[in-house]
Amino acid sequence: MKIKQLPQSFVRPLAAAAFSIGLLAALAFSVNVANSADAATSSSSDGATTSTAIFAGGCFWCVESDFDAVPGVIETVSGYSGGNTENPTYKNHHAGKHREVVQITYDSTKVSYEQLLHVFWRSVDPTDEGGQFCDRGHSYTTAIYTVDQAQQEAAIASKAMLVESGVLSKSVVTPVETASMFWAAEGYHQDYYKKNPIRYKYYRTSCGRDKRVAKVWGEEAHSGIERH
């Protein structure tokens, strides 16, 4: 029996709505984690030197999945940032001009910020100013949010190097911006690809993410991500 494919505009809303039963727990999780601009390098109890990076790469489910597969990454948290409203949610972050972002905690002795930038560029379409893949609108556009001056300089240099390389056929439109407040997304969005692998794989495939990244980057697509 042939299964009728749902329109793209309904795929993610249906997947998220299926877990609305956990809304109360989600609201408890969606409190503000921290001001991203205050995220400094620190040492954990196990001796790891941890740092924070924040990227907007379209659907945060996918960005989480990609960076969790990068050696040296300790934790990823989906959230919202860059907008002009407080306590944004999945339902209203668009109106507040927030982007979907992922806050990445990593061991800087195992992976550098420059390496994370390399992975980020090659896991998105940085030439798309209208969104990413099937997800359209400002909240799905790409951006690099820097938490200190060193990251700002590294991100600007990385973007300039990419532009000068001529590897992409179109202009790079991804902005480099100073990080503002980071707001954690609802609990059902965290580790979505682990909790709901079938729905996640269906969404990612039907949205055309990997197909488009492969077309944009060729052999460099998903460089640095172990599962690809």
At residue 160, φ and ψ (nearest 5 deg) are -60, -40
Distance CA 159, CA 61 (A): 24
Distance CA 32, CA 196 (A): 25
At residue 184, φ and ψ (nearest 5 deg) are -65, 140
**Residue 42 corresponds to which tokens in the numbers above?**
């620190």
Contact 84, 50 (CB under 8 A): no
Residue 35's contacts (CB-CB under 8 Å, 6 or more residues apart) are 180, 181, 182
Contact 201, 186 (CB under 8 A): no
Q: Which residues are catalytic?
A: 59
> Within 10 A of 211 (CB to CB), how many other CB atoms are there?
12
